[in-house]
Structure 1
Amino acid sequence: MRKNSIKNTRINMEVQRELSEIIRSGIKDPRIHPMTSVVAVEVTPDLKYCKAYISVLGDEEAAKATVEGLRSASSFVRRELAKRVNLRNTPEIRFILDQSIEYGVNMSRLIDEVTRDLHDEEEEGL
């Protein structure tokens, strides 16, 4: 099976949806921030390993605590995933903090500041 095959894409989407549901409603760890989302999931073609990219809406401490809580609950998450998704092998899950959304928001803010400064300069020149 190729890495970007249709079957692998479907498996990634299904695992992502179920992981989101498990994190949102199944885990009772207080370290896990309520505004946690699964941004992307990459399951290897042999279904042995899975990288789950997690985004947390909050400060850096909350994000680190959330990833730590998810790593400690990884066996529970894997067991729940095995119950919900019928796969030959249930992948071993690695949770990775994804800061791309935060980066995008920061870049958007910087662009807005520059355009506002340019607009102010144009008004002063008129």
Structure 2
Amino acid sequence: MPGGHDAGSLVRNVLQSLEDLKAEEILSIALAGKTTIADTMIIASGRSNVHVSAIADSVVKACKEAGIETPRVEGLPHADWVVVDAGDLIVHIFKPDVRRFYNLEKMWGGDRPSEDLSDMRRPS
């Protein structure tokens, strides 16, 4: 895999970092075959700007541990919505009100008639 990382370990590291930082409503969406932007999208919420920022820092650290040297980060320092782009994985971390407004789950999930809801997975 390019960059010397394993996509499975990247996703596992990021999901673990989200759980460790008590991110809320974590959702993983398989994008492979639907778009070329990434293979997986993870969406999570933080309770406040400070929480969102801390979660984003933890996600960046998890990406680096999985071999992604420089994931791109957008949305800091405001931290209403932070996006971490790790190539094959994109992580969106929202404050709850911003997440409801943008509703990415609807865009990438069940309201797309050609999509299968079984592609949406909640981590256990």
**TM superposition score category, shorter chain reference:** 0.3 to 0.5
Query: Highest CA radius of gyration, 1 or 2?
Result: 1
Larger helix percent: 1
TM-score, length basis structure 1? 0.36
TM-score, length basis structure 2? 0.36
Larger strand percent: 2
Structure scoring higher RCO (CA < 8 A, sep ≥ 6) equals 2
